[in-house]
Amino acid sequence: MFVDYKQTEVLVVDKWISLEEDENIQKAGMWISCGEVVALPTETVYGLGGNANSEEAIEKIFLAKGRPSDNPLIVHISERKQLSELVSHIPLIAEKFMNAFWPGPLTLILPKTEQVSEKVTGGLSTVAVRMPDHPVAQAVIKAAGVPVAAPSANRSGRPSPTTAEHVRHDLDGRIAGIIDGGPTGYGLESTVVDCTRDVPMILRPGGVTREELEEVAGVVEVDPALISDNEVPRSPGLKYRHYAPDAPLTLVEGSTAFLQEKIKEVEEEGLKTGVITVDELIQEIHADHVISYGSNDDIKEVAAKLYDTLRRADKLEADVLFSVTFPKEGVGAAVMNRLEKAAGGRIIKEE
Half-sphere exposure of 186 (CA within 13 A, CB side): 26
Nearer to ligand TXA, 132 or 205 (CB): 132
With CB atoms as reference, the residue minimizing the distance to Mg ion is 152
Nearer to ligand TXA, 29 or 151 (CB): 151
* Interface with ligand TXA, residue 203, by CB under 6 A: yes
165-193 b/e with 16+ CB inside 10 Å = b? ebbbebbeebbbbbbbbebbbbbbbbbbb
Cβ atoms 308, 342 nearer than 8 A: no
Q: Which stretch binds ligand TXA (CB under 6 A): 15-23, 65-73, 87-95, 341-349?
A: 65-73
Q: Which of residues 152-171 bind ligand TXA (CB under 6 A)?
A: 152
Nearer to ligand TXA, 21 or 114 (CB): 114
Site size toward ligand TXA (CB under 6 A) is 30
From the CB of 226, what's the least distance to ligand TXA, in Å? 12
Cβ atoms 108, 98 nearer than 8 A: yes
- Sign of torsion over alpha carbons 74, 79, 84, 90: positive
Site size toward Mg ion (CB under 5 A) is 1
**Residue 124 touches which member of Mg ion, ligand TXA, none, C-beta under 5-8 Å by kind:** ligand TXA
From the CB of 130, what's the least distance to ligand TXA, in Å? 6
Nearer to ligand TXA, 115 or 255 (CB): 115
d(C-alpha 227, C-alpha 159), whole Å = 21
Q: Which stretch binds ligand TXA (CB under 6 A): 51-59, 67-75, 139-147, 215-223?
A: 67-75
* Interface with Mg ion, residue 184, by CB under 5 A: no
Half-sphere exposure of 6 (CA within 13 A, CB side): 0
Cβ atoms 134, 39 nearer than 8 A: no
Nearer to ligand TXA, 75 or 290 (CB): 75
d(C-alpha 225, C-alpha 93), whole Å = 23
Peptide bond into 91 cis (omega under 30): no
Helix 299-314 / helix 164-171 crossing angle, nearest 10 deg: 30
Q: Which stretch binds ligand TXA (CB under 6 A): 27-35, 37-45, 172-180, 335-343?
A: 37-45
Kindly tell me the burial class for residue 247, based on how many C-beta atoms sit within 10 Å of its own C-beta (0-12, 13-18, 19 or more).
Answer: middle
The alpha-carbon radius of gyration of the chain (Å, integer) is 20
CA-based nearest residue to 76, from 40, 100, 31: 40
Q: Which stretch binds ligand TXA (CB under 6 A): 69-77, 78-86, 163-171, 332-340?
A: 69-77
Interface mask (CB under 5 A) for Mg ion, residues 133-152, using x and -?
Answer: -------------------x
* Interface with Mg ion, residue 190, by CB under 5 A: no
Helix 135-144 / helix 23-33 crossing angle, nearest 10 deg: 50
Residues that bind ligand TXA (CB under 6 A): 42, 44-45, 47, 71-74, 105, 107, 109, 121, 124, 126-128, 130, 132, 150-152, 189-190, 192, 203-204, 235-238
